[in-house]
Amino acid sequence: MDASDKELENQKKLAFYSNTLSAWYTTRFEKDKHLLSLSSAGIGLLVTLLTTVGSNTSFTAIMYALALFFFLVCIVSVLCIFSRNSGYLESVVAGNDTNDVLLDVLDKTAVFSFVLGVIFTLLVGVFSSIEKSREKEYRMSNKIERMVKQNDNTEKKSLNGASRMRPTSNDSPSQSSEDSSSSKTDDAKK
């Protein structure tokens, strides 16, 4: 192998290392960018749910608050990571090979808080649907109760005049039987 072949081999290794390093940086930055955008979308979703569906119980309100809190923690962590990355890269170029402990903590905090935000958002959805089904059940039972009460009132109103149909003291049973027999004889004569 001559010098030009060694030179070509070294250039290939350098190009491979350069592209690999670039891909690693891109992947790390993309993860943080995605966490930032998904956390922002999660906050938007929660605010929309809160304004349209609302919260009827304090438990669901706590779930909303926790989900919003964890998404905000994720956003703040990612923004701190972005601002701290430039300083860390400068120190690496200057020859400092130590890891930044705060960047590690911020990375783990961002991922952990995002996962918790997603979990609490799912819990908000579950408890909101449970609240809605209970609310429908309650409305249906109230509607049925009102219908039963209305039917009771209708029956009372429709039978309310039945006491007026009772024979009076002037009408005797023998007189009413005479009336009915005379009407029968009148019918027979015709």
Per-residue pLDDT tens digits for 20-52: 878 877 877 888 899 999 999 999 999 998 888
Helix (H), strand (E), coil (C) string for 77-143: HHHHHHHHHHHHHHHHHCCCCCCCHHHHHHHHHHHHHHHHHHHHHHHHHHHHHHHHHHHHHHHHHHH
The predicted-structure confidence for 91-108, as pLDDT tens digits, reads as follows: 877 887 778 889 899 999
- The residue extents of the domains of the chain are 8-130
Task: State the pLDDT at residue 160.
Answer: 62
Q: At what angle do helices 3-52 and 101-159 cross, to 10 degrees?
A: 30
pTM of the model: 0.64
Predicted pLDDT at 9: 83
